[in-house]
Amino acid sequence: MGKNDDSDIIEHHVEEEMEKKCARSHAASSSYFESVTPSEREGQSNTQSSHRLLAYSDALISIIATVMILPVAHTKVKDNEELKESVQILLTTKIAVYLMTFLIVSVAWGAHIRLFQVIVHIDDCLALLNLACMMLITFLPYTFSLMATFPEHILGILLFCGCVMVIGVIQSVVVLYAFSRPFLLSEQIQISENQTFYKQHILKVIMRVPIMCFLASIFSFIFFQLSYVLLAIVIFLPYVSQGLKWCRSKAVGQVEETPDSMMFYTYLPNQPLSKERVEAFSDGVYAIVATLLILDICEDNVPDPTVVQRQYGGSLIAALQDYGPEYLAYFGSFATVGLLWFVHHSLFLHVTKATRFMGLLNTFSLAFVGGLPLAYQLTQEFPRNSRNELEAIQISCVIIFFAGIFQLAIWVVALHSERETLHPYVWYGGREHVFMLAKLALYPCVALGTFFLTCCLSQFSASIFHLMEITVPFAFLVLRILVRIGLALLRLLFCPDQPDLRTVVEEEVDEMRAPFNALVT
């Protein structure tokens, strides 16, 4: 450790360069291939890297998961009722549908990741099967809407179970197909001798959920409440049981050494998760949330020409001035979404290995991020200085707080096994550690502070809230300097032999200008 680790980021960059050169020289000589006979090449002529298929699936799944917030956000909350009551009505159905969709779709996405960690190459047939699978996954939100609207009809349950069973069958076909063409599989399985064992193990894990759903659909004819319990168990039990097992093993301290073959394709919380796909999924969610905001602006805030003529005497500017708060709300909300993405980006830049548990926390964070369009709708809907407006701000603060606190939780979990999951720069005591903490803590702190401000100050308004949201980016820019100065002051107080404040600040400035040329040439 130590010196070597310290240069990992740079190494990473230069490695990329080296790889490129490596690849180039390889392509130029291609001597390796002159030794391969044409018949050996045939096998792979139709196979393709699965990268783009996965990227498309990630985009699709993340948008599906998030877009269900639209029916929630577009429900008109009547202004004369108390906001709390309206929100409670919303909560019972639409928010439940949104959260359930988000969770279920995330679970399906997790299964998709697991599957395509085994199958690393695709061909046309697998691509089409995957599209069929995606079609059914995108249909799941509809079955949820039915369940939520008609909780006592079994049709919603049957439709949902039917979809899940068909998805299970398609995934089994994918597995069988891939194992019949071993060149599609990951290297680890290709070279292993007991492929049949792997195949059966994977099929067993995949078919577990459809079989439970089959039982649930049968029970629904007898006693439909039981079906709901069964479905909840299907989705959460693996996580809960594995989580408890993991916690116990951590608490007792004994690390059970499970054989390598059993560690494979499980729900263990420290099972690695493709970091690339977690990032792609998160990007999709952040992007669609940012877009839903402008969609609302474009649909609602273009005045009708006749109204402008009649009410404002043809003055468009006067008509648009009424929408002032909406614009402010838009820019404020966009800044919040953008900066939450920025924090997420900074965090995952220093994550070297994502685990399943971090993925779960990330899903929770994203579920709250997906709630931001609701916050946007609520904060710009009510008249100024009404009770409702304050409550809308409070709801926004709660949403932002949880979105931020789960990001922080990811980091805390990662710190728990920092040597495996984090880059040395952000280890406890690393040079970026405190700055990263400050970045991650900024949004929860601001949200919490604002929440308590709304309780004390009755003059607090949505406009002030949105102005605050817009000014947060500048906080990020000064944060770095502040953290540096703070650290320098601490050092000055406790270790006076260290370089003093001025040197540290100068160092910082120097660092920002240090040329990288020397390293490249």
Q: Which residue lies nearer to its own copies by CB, 50 or 388? A: 50
Cα–Cα distance measured from residue 440 to residue 461, given in angstroms and rounded to the nearest whole number: 26
CB of 34 to its own copies, least distance (A): 8
Nearest partner of 98 among 329, 321, 366, 327, judged by Cα: 366
Q: Which residue lies nearer to its own copies by CB, 175 or 212? A: 175
Cα–Cα distance measured from residue 315 to residue 515, given in angstroms and rounded to the nearest whole number: 55
CB of 146 to its own copies, least distance (A): 6
Q: Distances from the Cα of 443 to the Cαs of 157, 198, 436, 450, 457, in angstroms? A: 39, 44, 12, 10, 20
User: With the CA atoms of 233, 234, 239 and 243 taken in that order, what torsion angle do they form, in degrees rounded to the nearest 10?
Assistant: 40
Q: Which residue lies nearer to its own copies by CB, 147 or 202? A: 147
CB of 37 to its own copies, least distance (A): 9
Q: Which residue lies nearer to its own copies by CB, 25 or 417? A: 25
Q: Which residue lies nearer to its own copies by CB, 206 or 280? A: 280
Q: Which structure tokens are listed for 353?
A: 């290995």
- Per-position DSSP letters for 364-386, written without gaps between them: HHHHHHTTHHHHHHHHTTSPTT-
Q: Which residue lies nearer to its own copies by CB, 4 or 254? A: 4
To 10 degrees, what angle do helices 124-149 and 96-118 make? 160
CB of 521 to its own copies, least distance (A): 7
Type of residue found at 421:
T
Q: Which residue lies nearer to its own copies by CB, 126 or 205? A: 126
Q: DSSP character for 76?
A: P
Q: Which residue lies nearer to its own copies by CB, 266 or 301? A: 301
CB of 252 to its own copies, least distance (A): 35
Q: Which structure tokens are listed for 241?
A: 């049981």
* 336 and 372 Cβ atoms separated by less than 8 Å: yes
CB of 431 to its own copies, least distance (A): 8
Cα–Cα distance measured from residue 175 to residue 169, given in angstroms and rounded to the nearest whole number: 10
CB of 300 to its own copies, least distance (A): 10
Nearest partner of 250 among 270, 271, 272, judged by Cα: 270
CB of 60 to its own copies, least distance (A): 4
Residues 6+ apart with CB under 8 A from 459: 385
